[in-house]
Chains A and B, each alone.
Chain A
Amino acid sequence: MAIKVKFKDKNDDFYKKIVELSGEQVALCDQCGTCSGGCPFIEEMDINPSEIMRKVMLGQKEVMDSRTMWICASCFTCTVRCPRELDVSKVSEALRQVKLRTAIDEISIADISKEEAKKLPTIAVVGNFRKFTG
């Protein structure tokens, strides 16, 4: 079912925030889809990286509800292939920052069991906290 989207006055603020945080001119995205076609985690995502670019470009804040930015592994496949040389993974990173700066953690440390924590390599734990917690 299609939803109706309204362009709001504040749309630009969200767009500018992401541009500032990522350092990428998201509006330059050509919507060619190269990033999505190459993404190794695409099957886990609810919307494609190129769709993230599209929504950010139009300032649609709803993009924050998507899981894609949390799935993104920062593997840079998209980044090295984008014909407009946009760093797509940085955009995901910027979206995560926006969320985490509201001090909402994506994972809870308390939820990890002792056994699980033992099995995980330290670097993975640190990396995960860096990526998922505010």
Chain B
Amino acid sequence: MKTGIFLCECGGNISNTIDLENVKEHLNDEDEKVIVKIHGNMCSGAGQKLLIDEAKKHGLDKIVVSACSPHFHEKTFRGAMKKAGLNPYNLEIANLREHCSWIHKDIPKVATEKAKEIVDAAKAKAELDYALEEKMMKLGNEVLVIGGGIAGIQTSLDLADSGKNVTLIEKQPTLGGKMAILTKTFPTEDCAACIISPKMAAVIDHPNITLHTNTEIQDIAGHRLHFEAKVIKHPRYIKDSINMDQCLICNKCREVCPVSQPNYWEQGIMNREAIYIPAPHAIPYKYLIDAETCLHFVDGSCNKCAEVCPQNVIDFGQKAEELNIAVDAVVVATGFDIFDAKRKPVFGYGKYENVVTSLEMERIVDHIVEKDPPRKVGKRVAFVQCVGSRDKQIGNEYCSRVCCMYSIKLASLLKQAKPEIDIYIFYTDIRAFGKGYEEYYKRSQEMGIKFIRGKPSHFTEVKETKQVILTVEDTLSRDIIETEFDLVVLANGLELSKSSDIVADSLKLAKSDDGFFKEAHPKYKPVDTLVEGVFLSGTAQGPKDIPDTVAQASAAAARVMATLAQKEFALDPVLAFVNSDICDGCEKCLDNCPPKAISMNNEGKAEINEALCLGCGSCITSCPLEAIDLNYYTNKQIYAEIEASLHLKKENEKRILVFADNNTTYRLIDACGVRKMKYTNYARVLRVPSVSRISPNLIEFAFAKGADAVFLGDSPAKGSHFEWANKTTQNNIKTVLNKFKKLKIDSDRLIFSQFTAADLMKFINEINQVAEKIDKLKSIPEDIKKQLFPKEK
């Protein structure tokens, strides 16, 4: 085996601080099986050519490039490896620029000594590298869309039109989501049911869409373009058949049903029977029985509908069906819930009968022109804006974007139907941001709707009349207004729907501060998530009106198409594997892999599913036999790296071994280097996918080999690629600290800290504090070190 080491000067960025000739001498001294070359700019064409030529000339099989951070040029050098006929995973990068020369500019001698150890560690790891193949995974055509609101409908139709096979899951018995409840829509005032019905019908008719309504997600496993969903389809208790014996919608059952319950699609202002069709425009247009209120299920006292049904299709024995759906991509379109105004009792919602939600008002307005409307509104109506939005007290600081416009809409529709009604809108700011919205606002002012800039402070009910008195400052005139209203309509804000949580939990999707699903990048990847193959559609990502929802829904469909159009994709080979010779089938690892990549094969040994493994390495410590390992970061390699990082340590010197997760902490330490921020020269930084991979054995080994402190840095669980990893890390630390206690080693020597990408100062402060602390501590005695790691490796 021959290793080529290329020391890059980086146009002086490295060589002005570090004496590369000295490093070169050290390397040649150590080993004759290495070729060492110094070059001005390794990333340049000439630098890469040097690598390729030398590799061919000397028959090199392992390469170390000592240069800048792997996050800058690992890809470049892997490309050069391929050109040299070498496997790209036989490459190691020694990060001399960000982790050494830039931060230790004023101590060149120390920096040069540190550089030797950094390159030695890379070399030690490179020697244990082995060829890894990027497996190509086939991509299919199957897409799961969760949520059948307008967002899910639009995404499904676009995908189906492009030839994808879509499975659309909707929790409710009809498609449509909130839009199926709305009366007319701003700013055009076209009727919501009329514009959504054709789309819902198109879903049913489309040969490429399989629709499951009344169906809920139970669990979804997978990531990276391979998912398996478990769903439960609730029974409708009506036999479904394409033959002549199907339900005729004769309505005889409904007429005899004694039950009367608030109808959700009328927001409770009208009732329905226990056997019902949700709404006149429901799709599928089918009966179902609500088992929670049907007397047959409640106490067995009724059987009336079954008795009258001429087709005999009512089947109380129908059971829930469990379906397993395997797909290549998932679109989350689980939508919003309106803010529950009971959470802020000052509004009186639920207490005063004449305070209603905006969705209730949609239904009230829809029926208002009827001769005998189910809910009357009186003579004076107030709309109260920003209910549950822009309110730090209840934790929703964002603007819900649509409530200004829908209040203006509801007020306008009411005014047109009943011009004699006095309508006031109490607002803080009017946000009429969309196309034609400001004009719509202006028209409502022309109609005589009064806008008062002020947020009502008191809501009191007049006992006798049930009117509601609002006390509010008109902040423009500074008058304090105190007036009674016959009806107060709350402009409830939008929150992520609660039923989204099961999806969030099973797919490990991150949420942003506003509580909605987090997109992969707020500007460039607005419909992607951090989980490859999962996309966002509609209000699940944030409050939106219908035009924006539909635009985003189509964008999600387009992103799915672009992703699946690759037909196949390369699997990163940095994955866990099981040494089946060592594994004794104890199954302890199974519960320690949240992506569920580990299973037992027919030989009774653990096996890693490569399509599911994310390469976090959290499973490693769960195996008592060290049978699980991680490609490119094997136990052997990390032992070797640790040893090499400490092997030049002199009597009076100190070392802090830093294990940094690749995604956050490592990049953060790079960023400190880029900004030339100085910190203790004790630090030796080693890169790992997640520090949960660092088992207690490795930590103990580091101390045994001379580390004065071990510092583990990872990203916080929230927003991490490996949300579960920190728990494992904490357990690992506990194990080591227990040993520390017995051996009387100071627990300050082992640090675990969590960082976001911006925590530069936090890192610097913490690492310097550790340095200060260990300066004060006496070194760990040799015999204690031996007890800490008795095994001879």
Interface positions of A (Cβ within 8 A of B):
30-38, 42-43, 47-48, 50-51, 81-85
Provide 9 A-B residue pairs closer than 8 Å at the C-beta atoms, listed in order of the A residue: A33-B453, A33-B457, A33-B475, A34-B457, A36-B454, A36-B457, A37-B472, A47-B478, A83-B455
Contacts known (A32-B428, A50-B473, A81-B346); A38 close to B457, Cβ less than 8 A:
yes
Smallest Cβ distance from A84 to chain B, in angstroms? Answer: 6
Contacts known (A83-B391, A84-B392); A37 close to B478, Cβ less than 8 A:
no
Contacts known (A34-B455, A35-B457, A38-B457); A48 close to B392, Cβ less than 8 A:
no
Q: Is there contact, CB below 8 Å, between B480 and A83?
A: no
Smallest Cβ distance from A44 to chain B, in angstroms? Answer: 12
Residues in chain B near residue A85, CB distance under 8 A: 392-393
Contacts known (A83-B392, A83-B455); A36 close to B480, Cβ less than 8 A:
yes
Residues in chain B near residue A35, CB distance under 8 A: 457, 473
Q: Is there contact, CB below 8 Å, between A33 and B390?
A: no
Smallest Cβ distance from B383 to chain A, in angstroms? Answer: 15
Instruction: Give the distance in Å from the alpha carbon of A130 to the alpha carbon of B397 in the complex.
Output: 37
Instruction: Give the distance in Å from the alpha carbon of A48 to the alpha carbon of B392 in the complex.
Output: 22
Interface size bucket, B side?
Answer: 20 to 34
Residues in chain A near residue B456, CB distance under 8 A: 34, 37
B497 at the interface (CB under 8 A from A): no
Residues in chain B near residue A38, CB distance under 8 A: 457-458, 471
Instruction: Give the distance in Å from the alpha carbon of A31 to the alpha carbon of B454 in the complex.
Output: 8
Smallest Cβ distance from B403 to chain A, in angstroms? Answer: 14
Residues in chain B near residue A81, CB distance under 8 A: 346, 457
| Partner pick for B473 among A43, A48, A84, CB 8 A cutoff | A48
Instruction: Give the distance in Å from the alpha carbon of A32 to the alpha carbon of B20 in the complex.
Output: 65
Residues in chain A near residue B478, CB distance under 8 A: 36, 47-48, 50-51
Instruction: Give the distance in Å from the alpha carbon of A84 to the alpha carbon of B455 in the complex.
Output: 12
- Whose C-beta in chain A lies nearest to the C-beta of B456? A37
The interface bits of chain B over 409-429 (1 if a CB of A lies within 8 angstroms of the residue's CB, else 0) are 000000000000000000010
Instruction: Give the distance in Å from the alpha carbon of A45 to the alpha carbon of B346 in the complex.
Output: 24
Residues in chain A near residue B428, CB distance under 8 A: 30-32
Q: Is there contact, CB below 8 Å, between B474 and A33?
A: yes
Interface positions of B (Cβ within 8 A of A):
346, 386, 390-393, 428, 453-458, 471-475, 478, 480
Instruction: Give the distance in Å from the alpha carbon of A30 to the alpha carbon of B428 in the complex.
Output: 8
| Partner pick for B475 among A31, A43, A83, CB 8 A cutoff | A31
Contacts known (A42-B480, A47-B478, A51-B478); A83 close to B473, Cβ less than 8 A:
no
Instruction: Give the distance in Å from the alpha carbon of A42 to the alpha carbon of B458 in the complex.
Output: 13
Q: Is there contact, CB below 8 Å, between A32 and B392?
A: no
Smallest Cβ distance from A14 to chain B, in angstroms? Answer: 21
Residues in chain B near residue A48, CB distance under 8 A: 473, 478, 480
- Whose C-beta in chain B lies nearest to the C-beta of A47? B478
Q: Is there contact, CB below 8 Å, between B393 and A83?
A: yes
Residues in chain A near residue B454, CB distance under 8 A: 32-33, 36-37
Q: Is there contact, CB below 8 Å, between B393 and A37?
A: no
Instruction: Give the distance in Å from the alpha carbon of A43 to the alpha carbon of B428 in the complex.
Output: 22
Q: Is there contact, CB below 8 Å, between B480 and A37?
A: yes
Query: Besides the contacts A34-B457, A36-B457, A48-B473, what 6 more A-B pairs have beta carbons closer than 8 Å?
Result: A33-B474, A36-B475, A36-B480, A37-B455, A37-B473, A37-B480
- Whose C-beta in chain B lies nearest to the C-beta of A31? B475
Smallest Cβ distance from B606 to chain A, in angstroms? Answer: 52
Q: Is there contact, CB below 8 Å, between A37 and B453?
A: no
Instruction: Give the distance in Å from the alpha carbon of A85 to the alpha carbon of B392 in the complex.
Output: 6
Contacts known (A48-B480, A83-B386); A36 close to B346, Cβ less than 8 A:
no
Smallest Cβ distance from A19 to chain B, in angstroms? Answer: 18
Q: Which 3 A-B pairs have the closest CB atoms?
A: A37-B457, A33-B473, A38-B457
Instruction: Give the distance in Å from the alpha carbon of A51 to the alpha carbon of B471 in the complex.
Output: 17
Residues in chain B near residue A36, CB distance under 8 A: 454, 457, 473, 475, 478, 480
- Whose C-beta in chain A lies nearest to the C-beta of B453? A33
Instruction: Give the distance in Å from the alpha carbon of A60 to the alpha carbon of B346 in the complex.
Output: 33
- Whose C-beta in chain B lies nearest to the C-beta of A84? B392
Q: Is there contact, CB below 8 Å, between B475 and A32?
A: yes
Smallest Cβ distance from B668 to chain A, in angstroms? Answer: 29
Smallest Cβ distance from A24 to chain B, in angstroms? Answer: 13
Contacts known (A37-B472, A83-B386, A85-B392); A32 close to B455, Cβ less than 8 A:
yes
Residues in chain B near residue A84, CB distance under 8 A: 392
Instruction: Give the distance in Å from the alpha carbon of A32 to the alpha carbon of B473 in the complex.
Output: 8
Smallest Cβ distance from B429 to chain A, in angstroms? Answer: 8
Instruction: Give the distance in Å from the alpha carbon of A82 to the alpha carbon of B346 in the complex.
Output: 12
Smallest Cβ distance from A79 to chain B, in angstroms? Answer: 11
- Whose C-beta in chain B lies nearest to the C-beta of A54? B475
Residues in chain A near residue B472, CB distance under 8 A: 33, 37
- Whose C-beta in chain A lies nearest to the C-beta of B427? A32
Residues in chain B near residue A51, CB distance under 8 A: 478
Instruction: Give the distance in Å from the alpha carbon of A31 to the alpha carbon of B429 in the complex.
Output: 10
Smallest Cβ distance from B474 to chain A, in angstroms? Answer: 7
Residues in chain B near residue A50, CB distance under 8 A: 473, 475, 478
Residues in chain B near residue A42, CB distance under 8 A: 480
Residues in chain A near residue B386, CB distance under 8 A: 32, 83
Residues in chain A near residue B455, CB distance under 8 A: 32-34, 37, 83
Instruction: Give the distance in Å from the alpha carbon of A128 to the alpha carbon of B368 in the complex.
Output: 57
Smallest Cβ distance from B424 to chain A, in angstroms? Answer: 14
Smallest Cβ distance from B762 to chain A, in angstroms? Answer: 24
Residues in chain A near residue B473, CB distance under 8 A: 33-37, 48, 50
| Partner pick for A37 among B391, B392, B471, CB 8 A cutoff | B471
Residues in chain B near residue A34, CB distance under 8 A: 455-457, 473
Residues in chain B near residue A43, CB distance under 8 A: 480
Instruction: Give the distance in Å from the alpha carbon of A34 to the alpha carbon of B475 in the complex.
Output: 9
Residues in chain A near residue B474, CB distance under 8 A: 33
Smallest Cβ distance from A117 to chain B, in angstroms? Answer: 35
Q: Is there contact, CB below 8 Å, between A83 and B457?
A: no
Q: Which of B391, B428, B473, B478 has the most CB of A within 10 A?
A: B473
Instruction: Give the distance in Å from the alpha carbon of A37 to the alpha carbon of B479 in the complex.
Output: 9
Smallest Cβ distance from B393 to chain A, in angstroms? Answer: 6
Smallest Cβ distance from A80 to chain B, in angstroms? Answer: 8
Smallest Cβ distance from A29 to chain B, in angstroms? Answer: 10
Residues in chain A near residue B457, CB distance under 8 A: 33-38, 81
Instruction: Give the distance in Å from the alpha carbon of A47 to the alpha carbon of B473 in the complex.
Output: 12
Q: Which of A31, A42, A81 has the most CB of B within 10 A?
A: A31
Instruction: Give the distance in Å from the alpha carbon of A3 to the alpha carbon of B453 in the complex.
Output: 23
Q: Which of A33, A38, A51, A84 has the most CB of B within 10 A?
A: A33
Instruction: Give the distance in Å from the alpha carbon of A38 to the alpha carbon of B470 in the complex.
Output: 10
- Whose C-beta in chain A lies nearest to the C-beta of B454? A33
Residues in chain A near residue B475, CB distance under 8 A: 31-33, 36, 50
- Whose C-beta in chain A lies nearest to the C-beta of B389? A83
Q: Is there contact, CB below 8 Å, between A83 and B390?
A: yes
Instruction: Give the distance in Å from the alpha carbon of A42 to the alpha carbon of B471 in the complex.
Output: 11
Instruction: Give the distance in Å from the alpha carbon of A88 to the alpha carbon of B474 in the complex.
Output: 18
Instruction: Give the distance in Å from the alpha carbon of A68 to the alpha carbon of B455 in the complex.
Output: 21
Instruction: Give the distance in Å from the alpha carbon of A84 to the alpha carbon of B454 in the complex.
Output: 14
Instruction: Give the distance in Å from the alpha carbon of A89 to the alpha carbon of B473 in the complex.
Output: 17
Residues in chain A near residue B392, CB distance under 8 A: 83-85
- Whose C-beta in chain B lies nearest to the C-beta of A49? B473
Instruction: Give the distance in Å from the alpha carbon of A52 to the alpha carbon of B364 in the complex.
Output: 40
Residues in chain A near residue B390, CB distance under 8 A: 30, 83
Smallest Cβ distance from B124 to chain A, in angstroms? Answer: 54
Instruction: Give the distance in Å from the alpha carbon of A37 to the alpha carbon of B392 in the complex.
Output: 18
Residues in chain B near residue A33, CB distance under 8 A: 453-455, 457, 472-475
Smallest Cβ distance from A89 to chain B, in angstroms? Answer: 15
Instruction: Give the distance in Å from the alpha carbon of A83 to the alpha carbon of B339 in the complex.
Output: 15
Q: Which of A32, A35, A81 has the most CB of B within 10 A?
A: A32
Smallest Cβ distance from A87 to chain B, in angstroms? Answer: 12
Q: Which of A30, A34, A82, A84 has the most CB of B within 10 A?
A: A34
Instruction: Give the distance in Å from the alpha carbon of A51 to the alpha carbon of B454 in the complex.
Output: 12
Q: Which of A31, A42, A82, A83 has the most CB of B within 10 A?
A: A83
Smallest Cβ distance from B457 to chain A, in angstroms? Answer: 3
Residues in chain B near residue A83, CB distance under 8 A: 386, 390-393, 455
Residues in chain B near residue A32, CB distance under 8 A: 386, 428, 454-455, 475
